[in-house]
Amino acid sequence: MRFLGIFFLLILITQGTFKRKKCPDKRFVCIFKENNLCSEDTDCEDNEKCCMLGCGKKCYNAYGAMCKLPMEKGSCEMSLYRWWYNSTTKTCQKFTYGGCFGNNNNFQSQKICKTLCKASREVMGSF
């Protein structure tokens, strides 16, 4: 009987049943529309889903991956005020974004940052 339980557990894991494949159901007022970085789930990694995150579509990992990324200014020379989640201090902090590249830990407002990273912390537990 124990073997049978382990067998079914392995099947669930290999089929990705434990992966949370749900987008946050939050809507935000945007300063401007951002370019979509994905259009469907197949544009994303296996453990991610293409979601409307804040003001544009991005690949989303419900287990907090984007909120653990370091702050990245990006390689362009614009000066856009943005927010990133500092997983060490567990706070959203303002930074100057260059306007291109960087990573997904980049939000138009403190409210969007707090809401999305709080939702990720609740799925993962504190990180």
The DSSP annotation for 53-75 comes to ETTEEEEE-TTSHHHHSPP---S
Residue 116 has pLDDT above 60, yes or no: yes
17-124: CATH topology is: Factor Xa Inhibitor (4.10.410)
Which residues is 91 bridged to in the sheet?
86
pLDDT band (50, 70, 90) for residue 85: very high
**Average pLDDT of span 24-42:** 86
Q: What mean pLDDT value characterizes the chain?
A: 80
**Average pLDDT of span 11-30:** 61
- Tokens for 43? 């544009």
Which residues is 105 bridged to in the sheet?
none
**Residue pair 104/115 in contact by the 8 Å Cβ criterion:** no
Residue 98 has pLDDT above 50, yes or no: yes
Residue 84's SS3 state is strand
41-77 confidence digits (pLDDT tens): 999 988 889 998 878 898 888 777 889 999 999 999 9
